[in-house]
Amino acid sequence: MSEEEAQRYGGSAGGGGGGGIGALSVDLLGQVLDRVPEPRDRKACRLVSRAFARAEAAHRRALRVLRREPLPRLLRAFPALDRLDLSACASLDDASLAAALAGADLGTVRQVCLARASGVGWRGLDALVAACPRLEAVDLSHCVGAGDREAAALAAAAGLRELNLEKCLGVTDMGLAKVAVGCPRLQKLSFKWCREISDIGVDLLAKKCRELRSLDISYLKVSNESLRSISTLEKLEDLAMVCCPCIDDEGLKLLSTGSNSLQSVDVSRCNHVTSEGLASLIDGHNSLQKISAADSLHEIGQCFLSKLATLKATLTVLRLDGFEVSSSLLSAIGESCNNLVEIGLSKCNGVTDEGISSLVVRCSYLRTIDLTCCNLLTNNALESIADNCKMLECLRLESSTSVSEKGLERIATCCPNLKEIDLTDCGVNDAALQHLAKCSELLILKLGLCSSISDKGLRFIGSNCGKIVELDLYRCSSITDDGLAALADGCKKIKLLNLCYCNKITDSGLSHLGSLEELTNLELRCLVRITGIGISSVAIGCKNLIELDLKRCYSVDDSGLWALARYALNLRQLTISYCPVTGLGLCHLLSSLRCLQDMKMVHLSWVSIEGFEMALRAACGRLKKLKMLSGLKSILSPELLQLLQACGCRIRWVNKPLVYKDAI
Amino acid sequence: MRRSSEISMKASSSMASEASRNTDPGQQGVRYNSMDLSYFARPGQSIPSCPPFFAPQSSSFCVPDESGAKVGNPFESDPSLNTPISDWDPQAILSNLTFLEQKIKQVKDIVQSMSNLGSPVVGGSCELAAKQQLVTADLTSIIIQLISTAGSMLPSMKSPLLSSNPAVRQLNTYGSPMGFGSVGNQRPSTNREVTVPDMTKTSDYEELMSTITTTHDEKDDLIKCPNPCGGDGSEPIPMEDHDVKESDDGGEGENLPPGSYVVLQLEKEEILAPHTHFCVICGKGFKRDANLRMHMRGHGDEYKTPAALAKPTRDSGLDHTPVTRYSCPFVGCKRNKEHRKFQPLKTILCVKNHYKRSHCDKSYTCSRCNTKKFSVIADLKTHEKHCGRDKWLCSCGTTFSRKDKLFGHVALFQGHTPALHMDDIKATGASEQPQGSEAVMDDMVGSAGYNFPGSTSDGIHNLDMKVAEDTRGYFSPLNFDPCFGALDDFTRPGFDISEDPFSFLPSGPGSCSFGQPSGES
């Protein structure tokens, strides 16, 4: 509907002039735009009608900026912004951010995303907090350079409710204390991976931020004392503590003494947690909805099972990856948890057909079933799933080598809502794809390592699964250009496509891919037949390309880089290791692509030292991540390396011999 | 030489000198005499047998029974009674028995006089009590003497007999509860006698030192009698005294019902006296008894014997003595006994530290920060260890040496927030300056600055809680003592205060001259 509407309005505005659109008030047009979900469609409206452009300017709530140059203009142009996403804004730094904020009115901005914006430091955050008085949510995740000063800058935003500090490696207890004191109304906080934070920081947080509902302390070295503090949070609903090696059953017992508010708990990879600890936790929190205990428990005790039964009404998600699971256990889970919507049994030993059938017989609401690497399963399991779980949306069967088209046929016919299926390494064939093609809702399809899949199978998919967003054809080496043609013809929505090692693909196949305008991630590793011509057709056609992997594409030379430099303006990650490109091409590429942040260029034997120097200098302010041969470390000028590091670029030096792999 | 000392002793207690004279015929020898002398010199210094020292100051102090200890001394200090273990000397036994006879006669006389007195006299009751105690002490020593005499006749059995015989132990303890107010007198004279046999297995120099150097022992010294020479070199294994171990700050948490303990109050001069142990020969003062003993070696070979060097033993009967607590002489202080909510101090050390910390000028200034002052030098030393390392800073300006302390502070006070370190900010700020050289950046830095103290209104607002004020709390004895207690470093300055409890005695001429005669001879 959205597209039609847009076209209609756009058409009338473009053709009719005065009468139609212009007569409607800006408010109404804004309402219309709100109902256009696709950004592309909104863009179309904007471009064809001034009235829409005005309405958009007045009503636009969310803005995602890709380059820093237009940032000041954009911030002024949209005065009603609610969400500002700067995570992809290339080469954003303190100065440019502060300058852009200085002239803008950001009184309405409530959410700002600065994930991976490693160029932004405390000065920029200070300016941001000062400019956005109503700031409620900030995402600073993966700004690995961020530390206490950045946290302190954010702490000045007293109204903050959500804060993500994931992988801000420099944040210590001091930074956390700043935030805890400065933002007492915090409801959601993640400081996953901030390994410097200890018990006393968590304790202060629990004392100061009484409104916390969601907390992520994963990968921290905190002990049970932290859980004692956390247990005092009366409104806490969601607690994630993945891989906290110092937490054990005692901690969970302490946690269970808190208020009965917890709805979701994640103790994955906490090696010292046993099922008794979880049982005591369930004792204290009997409205739990989600339990994640992947790779933590050594065995599932009877006490835990009996406690699970007390959660019968509420429990919807149970993840028990990596256990020894027997059929009787699965049937017991099925009996006690009828309302399960998601079950994760990936890498569980002992999952058999009987076990699965006894589970699904009771749990008919299951939508997501993760059976990754449960390689005892056969078609019987699939049939019982298909017969019982009519609402199935996601099924992961990686490495289940015994399943075949028969089982998948049953799934495809009985589960019309299937949106995601992972058949990596399941050895399925074209016939299976023929059946799966009945699932017209399919969004994610993973067929990696299924080398018997051919163009025929892709034609089935292309003809019926028009909604597919992600397709993984890793090492499906029988696929040729024709298959890609059929795919590109039918699945226009594909965003992520993996064609690594499908080495029959040539330039003509890539020219078909050029019609996939939504494509953002494309992996073409080791496609030895493709050349610069194919790359240029992709670069020209796929305007939204963000990530491109050309490792070991031995025929891609400078012409490919030129095409990328000219057309792939949104490209953010590029891998050109082992490609026969020269310094000139590299230089041109790096100086032209203003969004490029992540470059992997190992074994570019045709590039001279000067070529590297020039290219890196050209892209100095923008690069965030580099992967290069360690031999270059001593050859490149130290001043350049310092400069790169000063701009927030992390260089990963690798040392591996140059080996050309021609065939698979 | 011996005579001269006894003559001086006579002034305090004729009974004692009489008793010692009685022992003389039995055992002589330079060694004995010199050691004996040192015994006498010490109690003479510290035991309030000389009224001018003590009686007026501490009213609750029971003076009279000095003599009890003195009577005991000749027995216990007499090594010749026990040392000739192998050769069984009928002559010695005979003299012992003669002495016992005389002793019994004496006691008889006293009892006789008591019954004669009948006592309608005003001061009679007091005198009577004193005499009673005397009698008890004498009887005790007689029993001990009997046992030791019997023991010397059974050389092989002697040691186990004496140390394991419960009766003897009881005897040991018996001597103590006789109401000697002074800590010094609490040490029953009988004790050393009993432990004598063990002397042979311990007390060479190293062992002596090693036992002295532990904190524990040092603290034990505190409550030990002022007569620490323990010349007989009895076993240096200290008696566990949990009362003392618990805390240096005396009676903070303890809830002794009033009246269940004896209260001592020392005068200011006594509390502040620098030295507590004085050489009887040259008059040099020492803070520690161990040092004095080391010093004494220079005065002759007689001081080099293991017995002379040995650490004085602890009193086994201590448990039965009345609990002693101390009062601060500063009127109005909560530690002063006149205070309505009087909280006594536990040990002399506590008295000294408390008095210096609370009622003296803080004369020691930290040479690093030049702001913090202390009255106890150990506090200064402790502070100097951490001074400049107080890196945990609150927005109110208070600094902490430990992060958890800061966080506790922040958790307690609304609006306080940890401040990031100034130099950090300055350093990085400077390095970043060239990059963000635009006017905007400067503006930013100016307006949205950091919360370090003094730079923001927030900081100023809270400045009423000043650094100096907080340090008082921070270095309050309560916080300080736990780490103090953990020390075991002999050289640590903290020991300047952990001296003999009787360090308060003025180094006046009286105590010095006391020892003089022996020096002359």
Tens digit of each residue's pLDDT (9 = 90 or more) over B215-237: 344 444 433 334 434 344 444 44
Smallest CA-to-CA distance from A228 within A251, A204, A200, A209 is with A251
The answer to whether A201 and A176 are in contact (CB under 8 A) is yes
| Contact status, residue B366 vs residue B356, Cβ threshold 8 Å | no
Return the amino acid letter for B368.
R
Please enumerate in sequence order all residues whose Cβ is within 8 A of that of B28, keeping only pairs 6 or more positions apart, or say none.
Answer: none
pLDDT reported for residue B243 = 36
pLDDT surpassing 70 at residue B195: no
Any idea which residue has 């007999």 for tokens?
B161
Q: Where are the beta strands (DSSP E) in A492-576?
A: 496-498, 521-523, 547-549, 573-575
Q: Could you tell me the CA-to-CA distances from B509 to A379, B191, B280, B515 in Å, in that order?
A: 108, 31, 11, 10
Rounded to whole angstroms, the Cα distance separating A222 from A205 reads 13
Q: Which sign does the torsion angle of CA B175, B177, B178, B183 carry? A: positive
Question: Which of A156, A181, A646 lies at the smallest CB-CB distance from B410?
Answer: A181
pLDDT in tens, A101-127: 988 888 899 999 999 888 899 999 999
What pLDDT is stored for residue B232 in this prediction? 42
- Eight-class DSSP state of B320: G
Helices (H), B198-309: 205-212, 215-223, 242-246, 268-272, 289-296, 306-309
Say whether pLDDT at B115 is over 60. yes
Q: What is the largest CA-CA distance in chain B?
A: 109
Report the residue from A148, A156, A207 with minimal CB separation from B420: A148
The answer to which of A243-257, A396-410, B177-191, B243-257 has the lowest mean pLDDT is: B177-191
- Give just the sign of the alpha carbon dihedral B237, B241, B244, B247: positive
Q: How far is residue B207's CA from residue B202's CA, in Å, rounded to a whole number?
A: 7
Q: Which of A96, A148, A151 shows the shortest CA–CA distance to A129?
A: A151
- To test the contact with chain A by mutation, choose from B407, B433, B451 the residue with the greatest count of A C-beta atoms within 10 A, namely B407
Quick one: three-class SS letters along A395-409?
A: EECCCCCCCCHHHHH
Residue to mutate among A92, A97, A178, A198, with most B CBs inside 10 A, is A178
Res. A95: pLDDT tops 50: yes
Average pLDDT over chain A, rounded to an integer: 91
Q: What is the pLDDT of residue B152?
A: 63
pLDDT of amino acid A481: 95
Tell me the backbone φ, ψ of residue A290, rounded to 5 degrees. Answer: -130, 130
A positions 168-207 inside 8 Å of B (CB): 173-174, 177-178, 181-182, 200-201, 203-204, 207
Give the single-character DSSP code of B325: E
DSSP β-bridge partners for residue A621? none
Q: Which residue of chain B comes nearest to A96, CA vs CA?
A: B436
User: Above pLDDT 70, what percent of chain B?
Assistant: 39
User: What local confidence, expressed as pLDDT, does residue B402 receive?
Assistant: 84
pLDDT of amino acid A642: 92
Res B6 pLDDT > 50: no
Nearest alpha carbon to residue A392 among A415, A409, A414, A373: A415
DSSP one-letter string for A434-447: HHHTT-TT--EEE-
State in Å, rounded, how far the first CA of chain A is from the last one.
46
Q: Looking at residue B305, what is its pLDDT? A: 82
Please tell me the predicted confidence (pLDDT) of residue B314: 58
Residue B80: the pLDDT is 43
Model confidence over A395-415: pLDDT tens digits? 999 999 999 999 999 999 999
Q: Hey, what are B39's tokens?
A: 């015994």
Is the confidence at residue B90, as pLDDT, over 80?
Answer: no
What are phi and psi for residue A387, nearest 5 degrees?
A: -70, -30
Residue B189: per-residue pLDDT: 40
| B405 contacts in chain A (CB < 8 Å) | none
Of chain A, the percentage scoring pLDDT greater than 90 comes to 74
- Look at A314-318, A459-463, A586-590, B333-337 and tell me which has the smallest mean pLDDT: B333-337
Determine contact, residues B331/B359, Cβ cutoff 8 Å: no
Query: Which residues of chain A make contact with B425, given a CB cutoff of 8 A?
Result: 149
pLDDT for B220 equals: 40
A292, A319 in Cβ contact below 8 A?
yes
- Provide the pLDDT for residue B124: 53
Which DSSP letter does residue B316 get? G
* pLDDT of res. B292: 86
- Between B157 and A644, name the one with better pLDDT: A644
A180 within 8 A of A212, measured Cβ to Cβ: no
Asked if B107 and B27 touch (Cβ cutoff 8 Å), the reply is: no
Nearest CA in chain B to A102: B440
The pLDDT score that the predictor gives to residue A556 is 95
Q: Are A393 and A421 in contact (CB under 8 A)?
A: no
Q: Which of B407, B435, B451 sits opposite A200 (nearest CB)?
A: B407
**What pLDDT shows up at residue B109?**
84
Residue B82's pLDDT is 44
Mean pLDDT of the region A578-594 = 93
Spatial contact of A583 and A554, defined as CB atoms under 8 Å apart? no
pLDDT of residue B125: 61
Give yes or no for residue A319 having a pLDDT over 70: yes
Tell me the C-alpha distance between A402 and B489, whole Å: 73
Distance of CA A492 to the CA centre of its chain: 21
Mean pLDDT, range A379-383, rounded to an integer: 94
8 Å CB contact of B410 and A93: no
A446 backbone dihedrals φ, ψ, rounded to 5° = -115, 120
R_g over Cα of chain B: 29
CA-nearest residue of chain B to A647? B435
Structure confidence at residue B118 as a pLDDT band (50, 70, 90): low
Q: pLDDT, tens digit, for every residue of A16-40?
A: 444 577 788 888 888 888 888 888 8
Cβ-Cβ pairs closer than 8 A, A with B, add up to: 78
Using pLDDT thresholds of 50, 70 and 90, give the confidence band for residue B488.
very low
CB contact under 8 A, B411 and A98: no
Cα–Cα distance, B440 to A623 (Å, whole number): 24
pLDDT surpasses 60 at B438: no
**Interface mutation vs chain B, best among A171, A173, A229, most B CBs within 10 Å:** A173
What does the pLDDT average to over A84-104?
89
Amino acid A145: pLDDT: 87
Task: Check residues A647 and A440 and name the one with the higher pLDDT.
Answer: A440
Q: Is the pLDDT of residue B53 over 50?
A: no
| pLDDT given at position A25 | 86
Q: pLDDT tens for residues A595-646?
A: 999 999 999 999 999 999 999 999 988 899 999 999 999 999 999 999 998 8
Q: What is the distance between the alpha carbons of residues A78 and A56, in angstroms, rounded to a whole number? A: 8
Measure CB to CB from residue B441 to each of A94, A182, A204 and give the nearest one: A94
What is the per-residue pLDDT for B126? Answer: 63
Q: pLDDT category, A568, cuts 50, 70, 90?
A: very high
Q: Are B248 and B209 in contact (CB under 8 A)?
A: no
Cβ B407–A173 below 8 Å, yes or no? yes
**pLDDT tens digits, residue range B12-35?**
444 444 444 444 444 444 444 444
Range of lowest pLDDT (A465-474, B131-140, B503-512): B503-512
User: What pLDDT was estimated at residue B212?
Assistant: 42
Can you give the pLDDT at residue B219? 41
Strands (E), B231-299: 261-265, 277-278, 285-286
Per the prediction, chain B carries an average pLDDT of: 58
Average pLDDT over residues A295-306: 83
pLDDT at A648: 80
Q: Among A194-208, A494-508, B280-294, where is mean pLDDT lowest?
A: B280-294
Per the rule left: phi > 0, alpha: psi between -120 and 50, beta: everything else, A425 is: left
Q: Is B242 exposed, middle or buried (0-12, 13-18, 19+ CB in 10 A)?
A: exposed
Q: Can you tell me the distance from the alpha carbon of A590 to that of A146, in angstroms, rounded to the nearest whole number?
A: 26
Please indicate whether, in this complex, the C-beta atoms of B435 and A148 are within 8 angstroms of each other: no
Is ipTM strictly over 0.90?
A: no
The reported pLDDT for the residue numbered A625 is 92
Distance between CA atoms of B511 and B12, rounded to whole angstroms? Answer: 13
**Between residues A136 and B56, the one the model is more confident about:** A136
Q: Which residues pair with A62 in a beta bridge?
A: A83
Measured between alpha carbons, how far is residue B204 from residues B50, B199, B271, B306 in Å?
Answer: 35, 10, 34, 6
> H or E segment at A111?
strand A111-113
Q: Count of residues for chain B?
A: 521
Among A501-505, B61-65, B204-208, the range scoring the smallest mean pLDDT is B61-65
